[in-house]
Every structure is written in C-alpha cells, then in structure tokens.
Amino acid sequence: MTRRAFSAALLLAPFQAKRLPQPGVRYVPTPQIVVDAMLALARVTSADIVYDLGSGDGRFLITAAQRYRARGVGVEVDRFVLREAEDNLKRSGVADRVRFVNDDLFTFDFSEATVVTVFLLPQMLAQLVPKFRALARGARIVSHQYHLGDDLPAEKTADINGATIYLWTVGQSLK
C-alpha cells in the first residue's frame, strides 16, 4: 500500500466503522468482591470461555483469566470505557487469554460462551434471554443485581454485602 493510499484509508476508517448504538445506561463498576463471588458461583475453570456483556473496565475477564486461567471476550459499546479495559488488560499479564470488542451486545455472537457474566438492567436482560437459551447445554449465566424475570427463577442466588447475584444453567434452570 502506498503512503497516499494508507493515509486515505486512515481518513476513511471512521466512516467505515460499524455504527453502534449509544450506551443506554451509565457504566457502574461491579465491586471486586462481587466479581469474585460471581465467578465462583459460576464455577469458572480453565476450560471456560467467559463472555462479559457490557464488560466495562474488564475486571470480570481479567479476574477470570488470572484466577482460573479461563479465556474471555468482553463486549462493550462505550469506546471510552473500552479504552480503560484495554489499558487494564495490558497491565494484567493475561492479554493472551482475553480480548475486548467494541460492539452491540444485542447483535454480537456470543454462542461459544460457556459462562456469561452480566450487570444489566432487567429490560436488557429480557432481550437477551433467547440468546441465553440458545447457548450450549451446561453454559452458565451469572448476573449481578438483576434476575431474568419471574418466570425464570434462578438456580442459585447469593447475597454479597447487600448485592444479590443470580445463576442459571442452560438446560437446567434455563430451558
């Protein structure tokens, strides 16, 4: 590629990028004690592929990779927050196991997930239920603070310093 073509590609890149919706909610980090409890509740292991939908600063995936040697993918629509996650990943020592993508969690394909972590509002979770149900049997979904609805009771719940966490397993509590 010539220097001129490369310069033109750089100028056009912002216009060719996928247009993503604006974040519908404000980023609120999950306390580390809750992250630890959620990963433990989901029984994360080195065999897992953890997807964090609305991954924020990356703490779920970085912790999963550091503690359990799991692999992970974070999906984040907010580019500002995503930069923080990427900076945290560079310092973490687990960049070979984790990646972050700037994408819309409602259209992103996370079908390879064996564990999904979320801290999303109920209406957002309701939209994701069909995608959760389509995951492989045995995949676990763990949520901070919000459940999937009254008709989908969690398999397990726990109170962590006043924060409720919920667990569902595809094919068991989530059919």
**What local confidence, expressed as pLDDT, does residue 33 receive?**
97
At 28 the pLDDT is 81
Q: Residue 93's pLDDT band (boundaries 50, 70, 90)?
A: very high
Q: Tell me the pLDDT tens digit for each residue of 61-76.
A: 999 999 999 999 999 9
Question: What percentage of the chain exceeds 70 in pLDDT?
Answer: 86
Q: Is residue 15 part of a domain?
A: no
**What CATH number is given to the structural domain containing 148?**
3.40.50.150
Domain total for the chain? Answer: 1
Q: What does the pLDDT look like over 96-108, one tens digit per residue? A: 999 999 999 999 9
The HSE-up count of residue 124 (CA atoms within 13 Å, CB side) is 17
The model carries a pTM of 0.86
Domain span including residue 52: 28-169
